[in-house]
Amino acid sequence: MKDSYIIHGQKHTAGYSCRAGRGNPEDFTHYSEPKFVWSAVLRPAASLTASPDMEKHFTDHNVSLKCGGASTEWRVMSYKEIYVWSFLSLCPTYLGPTGPSCIVNSQLNYEAVYWCESGSGEFSNAVNITVHKPKPVLTVSPPWQSPEAPVTLNCQIENLSEGWRIYWYEAVPDVSPGAYRYELLPESISGTIQKSYMVHGQKHTAGYACRAGRGNPEYFTKYSEPKFVWLADPHPAASLSVSPDREQHFTSESVTLNCGGNSTEWRVMRFSATGHLIYLRICLVMTASLCTINRTHSDKSVYWCESPSGEFSNAVNLTVHDEDLLLVSPVHPVTEGASVTLSCRRRGENKLSDVIFYHNDKLIQNDSRGELKISAVSQSHEGFYKCEHSGEVSPQSWMRVKLLPRPENPSFPVLLVAGLSELSGKILIILLILLSHCRDLKGP
């Protein structure tokens, strides 16, 4: 007994099925669902054409399929795959002036093969049709920003034709865990033709999304995945702290995140380097605002806390890697003028000596010390740092510098001092002239 069968010499599209039987009289199983082998016949019995003549269509499109041939008994068949199901179906066919045809319209994403067949077993050519609802891709620039600085949003949608308008939204945390509600940005109520949008005056961390619409009533694409712009807010609603307090961590090493704030409803979010937004369900119920994570594989992500009322904490970069050497650097921005110490750590060891340090790939320290101490941080110290020990180099981390506010008119004190100096000089000259004149009047 064999469970396989080889067909030789197939010359046209055909469907196949199988069943099993046993006993005498023989008892049969059900027939299997038919499966098809589509052949590219040079002169098929009928010619199936699709209008518009393309393979990929949006879910709001009407696709007309026509069977061109001598017979009026053609019917349009389809073999679809939706989710995990595959099934054969008949397209409702009507007889037009040029032959049988049917209209395909679906609100579901699917892929299908369509063909015409007759009751006498003749087949047409076959065409692939893919129906999907487009999903935009949003990018933000830059993702890390200073308060009030402009942010540029870009919305990319595949095969976007004329007539579409793009709508821009702020992604606000919702009550449902890991979910967001989308609120239209003020100048986006009627949508825009442009694929970019400028946000001005952003004062706190925020998420953004976009989608496109056209027609009346308006047909909308899916929302894009939300993307975030993290701001160094001096007074965030919650303060996220990390223990151990460093950016780089070893795999299988526990890291505790603390959402310090008044609310008990904070939830921890993670945005991975691959662009995926992930809600940490392990921190659904947080104990005293604490969330402990333990990563078993390399990962680079941004973490922050948010509340259902739309409040955000500060955000931090955390890197987990399976190498044996890491850089110990501050996870939060270092304030201008403050001191900071960087060091190197090997898995299972605390302190190392004879460590080499690099700033933006430039060697800055190579001696017996195991630490890099900066007594007064300035803007020039911002950048990528990494360390090297015994020929092994750690991954690099970016150290951010938080600048102190500058006086609004720094030239005023300088001008004032300069003015006073000039005035004092003129008074001194006048006094000397008067003194000399008085001496001339009195004589020698």
Q: Please name the fold of domain 137-231.
A: Immunoglobulin-like (2.60.40)
d(CA 46, CA 74): 8
Would the CATH topology of 14-132 be identical to that of 238-322?
A: yes
Per-residue model confidence (pLDDT) at position 276: 80
DSSP SS3 for 146: coil
What is the pLDDT at residue 55? 75
**Distance (Å) of CA 6 to CA 2, 36, 72, 122, 292:** 11, 14, 34, 22, 58
Q: What is the DSSP string of 292-337?
A: EEE-SS-EEEEEEEE-TTS-EEEEEEEEEE-SSEEEE--SSPEETT
Domains of the chain, by residue range, sit at: 14-132, 137-231, 238-322, 324-405
Q: What is the pLDDT of residue 341?
A: 96
pLDDT of 247: 95
Look up the CATH superfamily of 324-405.
Immunoglobulins (2.60.40.10)
Determine the pLDDT at residue 442: 47
Fold of 14-132: Immunoglobulin-like (2.60.40)
Whole-angstrom Cα distance, residue 16 to residue 31?
Answer: 10
pLDDT for 420 equals 41
What is the structure's pLDDT at 32? 86
CA–chain centroid gap for 359, Å, is 28
Q: What is the pLDDT of residue 413?
A: 44
Q: Could you give the C-alpha distances from 432 to 61, 256, 440, in angstroms and in order?
A: 95, 74, 13
**Rounded-to-integer distance, Cα 289 and Cα 287, Å:** 5
> In tens digits, what is the pLDDT along the chain, a chain of 444 residues?
778 888 887 777 778 889 998 888 889 899 888 887 877 666 777 788 888 887 777 766 778 888 876 666 788 888 876 655 566 777 776 666 666 778 887 767 778 888 888 877 788 888 888 877 788 999 999 888 877 789 999 999 876 667 889 999 999 888 776 678 899 998 888 999 899 999 998 888 889 999 998 888 888 888 999 999 988 777 787 888 999 999 999 998 899 998 876 666 788 888 888 878 877 766 755 566 788 888 888 889 999 888 877 888 889 999 999 989 999 999 999 999 999 999 999 998 877 899 999 999 999 999 888 899 999 999 999 999 999 999 999 999 999 998 887 776 554 444 334 444 454 555 555 555 554 554 554 453
What's the confidence (pLDDT) of residue 74?
80
pLDDT value for 46: 79
Q: Which helix (H) or strand (E) holds 440?
A: helix 411-442
CATH superfamily, region 238-322: Immunoglobulins (2.60.40.10)
Alpha helices (H) in 129-256, listed in sequence order: none
